[in-house]
Chains A and B, each alone.
Chain A
């Protein structure tokens, strides 16, 4: 009896260790079981409707061009979480994320070439968006610019920049406005941002959550939001208005081919065609219809009416790129943490 007991315990432990050893390969082959005819675009939350439409159109295009039947799939979620899934083995052919920072992290992990930003035109961002204010119909609190957000009687809804990619754009837009207003005096800028965040009623963990707080629960007087999210909300409901601040940030959601995955699956050609099609006139039009600002001038002119006019700056000009901005503002001990320290 005794040897049997010892042996089976040992067997149990050994098998467990064995499982641990091949754990990483297992994750990879799981994702692979999708087969060669499938293609995965890992994206962030608000692009759901956009890529649903885009994939449908591109399926036909690709069939015409190559004769192949490929099933184009998408996965949506918080941008940072999506990037982590790819790093941990989700076999994405392309990623279309909210921030260059998240794509950089995947590149750091060795899955994407370090020079990805230069692979496609316009910083590998085929469409852009910006940050605007959503207020209640009639603008009862008379909110017109960032200055109004630091008034004592205004309550703000915005997600937490620590957990939401979109919220980081919000924060940087406000920061740059304050920096120009106070001629770069950092103490005053921080004071402004601190005041702004004191007016925030709740920091939801994601952009969609913040929209729910503002729209469904009637929290706050103003939602700092993605322009495309604000326009979608407006389309569904007439109870809101968009207010464009005098200055905002040009949000450039990044796209990239996941080199390691496409080389393994042999899908580089279709992945590159997919992203190039985003830049085509047709692709740009689909983006514009889903409230993203197209890069193509002609298409933008056509849809100009739906986008509020405002002055835009880029993160490269104002903050020297994402890596630097992330480190200075959102890493532990950065300016966002500082404004909350007593």
Chain B
């Protein structure tokens, strides 16, 4: 029997290229910092990465990235929905603007957001009046991460939503389902998979994000020091090993989260497919 992959000629060669490419661009850099950290004894590695300041940094980075990804999942879904299902003037433009956070240098985004959200900034004044410190706080960090993460969700959900078979909704309507029930039972289950992948991408990006966050974070020790900043402070002390150690922990945690989410997706697909 002919396997699907072998329909394209030169499959083995393609595989070789892929391996080479991945080794060069991904495995080697990753291997390099594992090598850096491998100079440490196990004990000092543990001491470095479990230092309270580091743990606080991971928690802050993960917490804010999670909060931002959840908010992005909700509003990203809404945005994608509006962009696919509604027609209004300026829709094209709005659709294009969604990608802006991808294109903008992160430092520019960070500086702009900070200027907006500080106590006397355009938006910050309302936040502060409501008692929410929107800059130099976890809230500020989350705002920056929402900004950089939104395109991931929209761009994951949008194509699936666009290709959704309209006849299913019609059938649901004919069988007497209300709008809400149709959405909950017919449309939403189709969107769970892209939503999770968008969420996972936004989340992973948020954990490692540095450029746009350092400006709005305020970088106060034990308060608003994100994990990537702690890596920078290690480098600033020329302590490559410690920097690599913290990076490995962050990478490990991100990988775990991505694996769990991918695993769940896989499980869903299998179940739906069966």
A185 interface residue (CB < 8 Å to B):
no
Query: Which among B11-19, B154-162, B194-202 touches the partner chain?
Result: B11-19
- List 9 A-B residue pairs with CB atoms under 8 Å apart, sorted by A's residue number: A4-B12, A9-B19, A12-B17, A13-B23, A16-B28, A20-B31, A87-B238, A201-B218, A219-B118
| Chain B 1-51 residues near chain A, CB threshold 8 A | 11-13, 15-21, 23-24, 27-28, 31-32, 51
Contact yes or no, A19 B233, CB < 8 A: no
The 9 closest A-B pairs by CB, nearest first: A8-B16, A5-B12, A12-B20, A16-B23, A202-B218, A340-B221, A12-B19, A162-B233, A203-B219
| Chain A 144-197 residues near chain B, CB threshold 8 A | 160, 162-163
| Chain B 109-143 residues near chain A, CB threshold 8 A | 111, 114-115, 118-121, 135-136
Contact yes or no, B114 A217, CB < 8 A: yes
Tell me, rounded to whole Å, the shortest Cβ–Cβ distance linking A257 to chain B: 21
A77 interface residue (CB < 8 Å to B):
no
Contact yes or no, B235 A84, CB < 8 A: yes
Inter-chain contacts of B168 with A (CB < 8 A):
none
Interface residues of A (CB under 8 A from B): 1-2, 4-5, 7-9, 11-13, 15-16, 19-20, 80-81, 83-84, 87, 105, 160, 162-163, 200-205, 209, 212-213, 216-219, 326, 330-332, 336-337, 340-342
Contact yes or no, B111 A212, CB < 8 A: yes
The closest CB in chain B to the CB of A200 belongs to B220
C-alpha gap A4/B6 in the complex (Å)? 14
**Chain A binding surface, main DSSP class:** helix
Contact yes or no, B215 A163, CB < 8 A: no
Contact yes or no, A11 B15, CB < 8 A: no
Contact status of A80 and B218, CB under 8 A, knowing A8-B12, A16-B23, A16-B24: no
Contact yes or no, B235 A217, CB < 8 A: no
Tell me, rounded to whole Å, the shortest Cβ–Cβ distance linking A89 to chain B: 14
Inter-chain contacts of B115 with A (CB < 8 A):
216-217
Contact yes or no, B221 A202, CB < 8 A: no
C-alpha gap A4/B11 in the complex (Å)? 10
The closest CB in chain B to the CB of A164 belongs to B236
With beta carbons under 8 angstroms apart, the residue of B118, B120, B232 that contacts A205 is: B232
Contact yes or no, A218 B53, CB < 8 A: no
Inter-chain contacts of B121 with A (CB < 8 A):
217
Interface string of B43-75 (1 = CB under 8 A from A): 000000001010000000000000000000000
B245 interface residue (CB < 8 Å to A):
no
With beta carbons under 8 angstroms apart, the residue of A2, A203, A331 that contacts B237 is: A331
Contact status of A332 and B28, CB under 8 A, knowing A5-B12, A217-B114, A217-B121: no
Inter-chain contacts of B24 with A (CB < 8 A):
16, 19
Contact yes or no, A163 B218, CB < 8 A: no
Contact yes or no, B236 A11, CB < 8 A: no
The closest CB in chain B to the CB of A339 belongs to B221
B229 interface residue (CB < 8 Å to A):
yes
Interface residues of B (CB under 8 A from A): 11-13, 15-21, 23-24, 27-28, 31-32, 51, 53, 111, 114-115, 118-121, 135-136, 214-215, 218-222, 229, 232-233, 235-239, 242
The closest CB in chain B to the CB of A108 belongs to B238
Contact yes or no, A203 B233, CB < 8 A: no
Which of B119, B222, B236 gathers the greatest number of chain A CB atoms within 10 Å?
Answer: B236
Inter-chain contacts of B53 with A (CB < 8 A):
337
The closest CB in chain A to the CB of B124 belongs to A217
Contact yes or no, A205 B214, CB < 8 A: yes
With beta carbons under 8 angstroms apart, the residue of A8, A160, A340 that contacts B222 is: A340
Contact status of A9 and B16, CB under 8 A, knowing A19-B24, A337-B53, A340-B222: yes
C-alpha gap A290/B214 in the complex (Å)? 29
Inter-chain contacts of A200 with B (CB < 8 A):
220
The closest CB in chain A to the CB of B215 belongs to A209
The closest CB in chain A to the CB of B214 belongs to A205
With beta carbons under 8 angstroms apart, the residue of B16, B28, B215 that contacts A11 is: B16
Tell me, rounded to whole Å, the shortest Cβ–Cβ distance linking B144 to chain A: 14
Contact status of A8 and B13, CB under 8 A, knowing A80-B235, A80-B236, A337-B221: yes
Contact yes or no, B114 A12, CB < 8 A: no
Further 5 A-B residue pairs, CB within 8 A, beyond A80-B238, A203-B219: A7-B16, A11-B16, A203-B221, A205-B214, A218-B118
C-alpha gap A273/B129 in the complex (Å)? 59
Inter-chain contacts of A204 with B (CB < 8 A):
214-215, 219
Inter-chain contacts of A340 with B (CB < 8 A):
220-222
The closest CB in chain A to the CB of B25 belongs to A16
Tell me, rounded to whole Å, the shortest Cβ–Cβ distance linking B126 to chain A: 16
Inter-chain contacts of A332 with B (CB < 8 A):
51, 237, 239, 242
Tell me, rounded to whole Å, the shortest Cβ–Cβ distance linking B210 to chain A: 9
C-alpha gap A186/B158 in the complex (Å)? 61
C-alpha gap A297/B114 in the complex (Å)? 44
Inter-chain contacts of A87 with B (CB < 8 A):
238
C-alpha gap A160/B229 in the complex (Å)? 11
Contact status of A9 and B238, CB under 8 A, knowing A19-B28, A203-B220, A205-B229: no
Tell me, rounded to whole Å, the shortest Cβ–Cβ distance linking B44 to chain A: 12
Contact yes or no, A84 B238, CB < 8 A: yes
Inter-chain contacts of B214 with A (CB < 8 A):
204-205
Inter-chain contacts of A216 with B (CB < 8 A):
115
Inter-chain contacts of A4 with B (CB < 8 A):
12-13
The closest CB in chain B to the CB of A206 belongs to B214
Contact status of A217 and B19, CB under 8 A, knowing A16-B28, A203-B219, A204-B219: no
The closest CB in chain B to the CB of A17 belongs to B23
